[in-house]
Amino acid sequence: MSTLNQQYEEKVRPCIDLIDSLRSLGVEKDLALPAIAVIGDQSSGKSSVLEALSGVALPRGSGIVTRCPLELKMKRKTDGDPWFGKISYQNHEEEIKKPGLVEKKIRDAQDKMAGSGVGISDELITLEIASPDVPDLTLIDLPGIARVAVEDQPVNIGDQIKRLIQKFIQKQETISLVVVPCNVDIATTEALKMAQEVDPDGERTVGILTKPDLVDKGTEDTPVRIVHNEVICLKKGYMIVKCRGQKEITDKVSLPEALQREEDFFKEHAHFQILYEEGKATVPKLAEKLTLELVQHIVKNLPHLEEQIKKKIQKAQTQLDRLGSGPPLDTAERLGFLIDKVTEFTQDVICLTKGEDLKCQFRSNIFFKLRDQFQVWKQTIDSSGNKFNQNIQKEVAQYELKYRGRELPGFINYKTFEAMIQDQIKKLEQPAVLKLMTVSEMVKEELCQLAEKSLFGFPNLIRAAKMQIESIRNNKQETAESMLRSQFRMEMVVYTQDSRYSKKLGKRKREDEAARTVNWVFSESEATLKEMMKHIKSYYQIVGQRLADQIPLVIRYYMLQELAAQLHREMLQMIQDKATSELMLHEDSDIDTQRTHCMASLKRLSAARRLLGRFSMKM
């Protein structure tokens, strides 16, 4: 016994303490901790087992008695220390003076949480008990699986309960304690099926047989075979216990007395004696086994736990970064904070319009989008040019038909072609303006998104930025449009300075050697029809190239560069005003709550990590 105790103090205690400390840090809010959940059909004896383990009477009876998950935290004290009890749920916390009051307090709590009827609730009631007579264990008592709904119960009560049970047992951190009475067929036990579903390898399922005193005469062999793992095999095996039956409760048999009776029962039982000898029977043996199982489970789960904590810390840190530190309280600092915030945003806007990397986590692809848009623009020009060439060809053919046989076949009215060219160029004006509008809309969208990201948490500031973006871009778009329209008006002056042209013409017209200007005044002797055609085609090419660059240039200049520069000025000007700047600093109230929450979680998790680190060193 003393070696067992020693082993306990060396191995078991630290593990239990570790989980306990993690629990008291509140880490359970962030992740699941190793725990034992008790599941079984209604009236299979779950509460009785807990009661025997904890030494305090719990609400019991027929029908659905456990209506909320009850977390029973037991802490072993040294001999002679007084009993301590505490119940907590929702915001309520209350010390319980003596064991006899526990049952009533739990009933009250359940009525408050799940209503006084027969409904159930997902919310946890926590009962803490510290005494020299309890094992170091935390167990969760769950509502029993109802085979049929009784009067007043919602018809889906069975599903509700199953869902609640699943919520607990599907966690890898939970050991499922499946309670099965000896007098029912284990193969039909719903709880065992559920446990096997979430833990097919039986790594974390322990079976408990109850009511061995109620086993039908002649079938005593079955429980023995089950405990020997010969019927439905569980890696962690089975235990068998006998608790107080209804009659013993009515007779007010005390819990210690009941333990004595249990021991006698097994010792003297013709069939179950062997289980007692093997250490697989009685409540104290169960307590021992559960403690060891829990400790093993904890040790096995430690790496997973550490991993989880690490991940959660990272997540909280990222979130905290995203939330930022919030505005300072000092008035002067507040303005500085706002200026920094706005500057950072407008700097990012400028970077965005230059295609440089941004400070805030916003990946802009406006440059790709614009490149696409401008490529399409170039294609518009080209395909329009192809059509144009076909038209000239037609025109020339007609012309030749008209004047064939005349003395001066080369004569052509230049005006005709000038009009054609002008017509053709005019066709590009509307597409150019449309392009401007498309790009303007894209830029606006992109900048608004950037504002949301960069000024995250300050809804007023975001709104103001968006309004500025909208009004400045309207303004710039107007200017750009009139610029584009003038460009097209200018293009009506048929003009180029292309040296290729000058050379060509120079050959023909010696006297015009130095001319850099093509005035397109030809006489019938100076140009043949074919040459004229060539001239016109290449002139369109030149205009096309010019517009392919010029239109995007105007759009980019006004819609990116100018817009960004003005936004920068206007935003900074806007916050000069004291009242406005205070308004802009108004933080999203959600953000503040989130930040507090996140910081608390980070603090807990970091403490948990330190705790685990220290523990692993000792192991």
Write down the least CB distance from residue 210 to ligand GDP, Å: 5
Residue 477 binds what, of Mg ion, ligand GDP, none (CB under 5 to 8 Å, by partner type)? none
Cα 502 from Cα 504, distance rounded (Å): 5
Give the binding site for Mg ion (CB under 5 A): 46-47, 65-66
Q: Are the beta carbons of 543 and 432 closer than 8 angstroms?
A: no
**First-to-last C-alpha distance (Å) of the chain:** 23
Residue 76 binds what, of Mg ion, ligand GDP, none (CB under 5 to 8 Å, by partner type)? none
Contact between 43 and ligand GDP by CB under 6 A: the answer reads yes
Please choose, from the candidates 203, 198, 202, 197, the residue with its C-alpha nearest in 3D space to the C-alpha of residue 170.
Answer: 198
Q: Are the beta carbons of 530 and 413 closer than 8 angstroms?
A: no
Please choose, from the candidates 23, 1, 145, the residue with its C-alpha nearest in 3D space to the C-alpha of residue 74.
Answer: 23
Which residues, at least 6 apart from 324, have a Cβ–Cβ distance to it below 8 Å?
A: 456, 457
Give the helix/strand (H/E) hosting 167. helix 157-169
Site string for ligand GDP, 431-460 (x = CB under 6 A): ------------------------------
CA 242 from centre of chain: 48
Residue whose tokens read 């359940």: 110
Cα 524 from Cα 241, distance rounded (Å): 121
Judged by CB, which is closer to ligand GDP: 69, or 552?
A: 69
Residue 143 binds what, of Mg ion, ligand GDP, none (CB under 5 to 8 Å, by partner type)? none
Contact between 604 and ligand GDP by CB under 6 A: the answer reads no
Contact between 285 and ligand GDP by CB under 6 A: the answer reads no
Cα 609 from Cα 598, distance rounded (Å): 16
Please choose, from the candidates 214, 211, 223, the residue with its C-alpha nearest in 3D space to the C-alpha of residue 272.
Answer: 223
Judged by CB, which is closer to ligand GDP: 77, or 261?
A: 261
The residue within the footprint of ligand GDP, chosen from 48, 205, 308, 502 (CB under 6 A), is 48
Write down the least CB distance from residue 53 to ligand GDP, Å: 12
One-letter amino acid of 412: I
Piece of 38-46, 223-231, 334-342, 353-361 that binds ligand GDP (CB under 6 A): 38-46
DSSP classification of residue 410: T
Judged by CB, which is closer to Mg ion: 141, or 173?
A: 141
Cα 458 from Cα 467, distance rounded (Å): 14
Please choose, from the candidates 411, 398, 419, 559, the residue with its C-alpha nearest in 3D space to the C-alpha of residue 477.
Answer: 559
Write down the least CB distance from residue 360 to Mg ion, Å: 55
Q: Are the beta carbons of 135 and 53 closer than 8 angstroms?
A: yes
Cα 297 from Cα 205, distance rounded (Å): 11
Contact between 46 and ligand GDP by CB under 6 A: the answer reads yes
Contact between 60 and ligand GDP by CB under 6 A: the answer reads yes
The alpha-helical segments, DSSP class H, found in 362-458 are: 366-403, 414-426, 429-454
Judged by CB, which is closer to ligand GDP: 175, or 259?
A: 259
Write down the least CB distance from residue 293 to Mg ion, Å: 22
CA triple 533-538-539, angle to 5 deg: 95
Q: Are the beta carbons of 518 and 502 closer than 8 angstroms?
A: yes
Contact between 245 and ligand GDP by CB under 6 A: the answer reads yes
User: Phi and psi at residue 143, in whole multiples of 5°?
Assistant: -55, 145
Write down the least CB distance from residue 92 to Mg ion, Å: 21
- Count, residues near ligand GDP per rule CB under 6 A: 22
Write down the least CB distance from residue 211 to ligand GDP, Å: 4
Write down the least CB distance from residue 290 to ligand GDP, Å: 17
Q: Report residue 73 as tokens.
A: 């935290």
Which residue's Cβ lies closest to ligand GDP? Answer: 245
Write down the least CB distance from residue 147 to ligand GDP, Å: 12
The residue within the footprint of ligand GDP, chosen from 42, 110, 160, 487 (CB under 6 A), is 42
The residue within the footprint of ligand GDP, chosen from 15, 34, 36, 45 (CB under 6 A), is 45
Judged by CB, which is closer to Mg ion: 165, or 224?
A: 165
Contact between 254 and ligand GDP by CB under 6 A: the answer reads no
The residue within the footprint of ligand GDP, chosen from 55, 135, 144, 207 (CB under 6 A), is 144
The residue within the footprint of ligand GDP, chosen from 16, 36, 39, 47 (CB under 6 A), is 47
Judged by CB, which is closer to ligand GDP: 144, or 327?
A: 144
Q: Are the beta carbons of 601 and 30 closer than 8 angstroms?
A: yes
Contact between 242 and ligand GDP by CB under 6 A: the answer reads yes
Which residues, at least 6 apart from 94, have a Cβ–Cβ distance to it below 8 Å?
A: 86, 87, 88, 105
**Within positions 63 to 122, which residues make up the interface with ligand GDP, using CB under 6 A?**
65-66
Judged by CB, which is closer to ligand GDP: 42, or 424?
A: 42
Residue 242 binds what, of Mg ion, ligand GDP, none (CB under 5 to 8 Å, by partner type)? ligand GDP
Residue 213 binds what, of ligand GDP, Mg ion, none (CB under 5 to 8 Å, by partner type)? ligand GDP
Q: Report residue 87 as tokens.
A: 């119940």
Site string for ligand GDP, 182-221 (x = CB under 6 A): ----------------------------xx-xx-------
Write down the least CB distance from residue 70 to Mg ion, Å: 8
Residue 552 binds what, of Mg ion, ligand GDP, none (CB under 5 to 8 Å, by partner type)? none
User: Phi and psi at residue 539, in whole multiples of 5°?
Assistant: -65, -45
Please choose, from the candidates 303, 355, 346, 354, the residue with its C-alpha nearest in 3D space to the C-alpha of residue 450.
Answer: 346
Q: Are the beta carbons of 222 and 184 closer than 8 angstroms?
A: no
Q: Are the beta carbons of 176 and 115 closer than 8 angstroms?
A: no
Cα 346 from Cα 565, distance rounded (Å): 8
Piece of 37-45, 353-361, 563-571, 606-614 that binds ligand GDP (CB under 6 A): 37-45
Residues making contact with ligand GDP (CB under 6 A):
40, 42-48, 60, 65-66, 144, 210-211, 213-214, 242-246, 249
